[in-house]
Amino acid sequence: MTTVSLKIESGATQLTLPEGFRSWLAFWEAQRGKRATQCEAFGCDREVTEAGRVIKVGKVDGVYILPLCDRCSSLANTRIFKAWDKDLVMLTQEPEAAT
């Protein structure tokens, strides 16, 4: 398993919740097949409060959803953090990065 360096996606991209889901956390849970109860930032075990929109540092290939706690999501605005690659759920693909 590998970890990736991430930061919060700060763009103002308007994303429409896929049909059939009532929240981005529910969407993430459906994609990953597990409950989003614990912050997915590496080394953190606080309670999830929101679905963070993150991008990979150094290799921006799209926007991903990652469940985060309130502390990580606010810290991550200015800091790079790590998470398991497998826990990222792809949200949008950057058209220019598509191969």
CA distance 24 to 62: 16
Minimum CB distance to Zn ion smaller for 35 or for 92: 35
Size of the site for Zn ion (CB under 5 A): 6
Element (H, E) at 7: strand 3-8
Confirm or reject binding of residue 46 to Zn ion (CB under 5 A). yes
Query: 8, 25, 36, 41: which one contacts Zn ion (CB under 5 A)?
Result: 41
Q: How far is the CB of 71 from Zn ion (least distance, A)?
A: 5
Minimum CB distance to Zn ion smaller for 41 or for 63: 41
Residues of span 69-88 touching Zn ion by CB under 5 A? 69, 72
Q: How far is the CB of 95 from Zn ion (least distance, A)?
A: 31
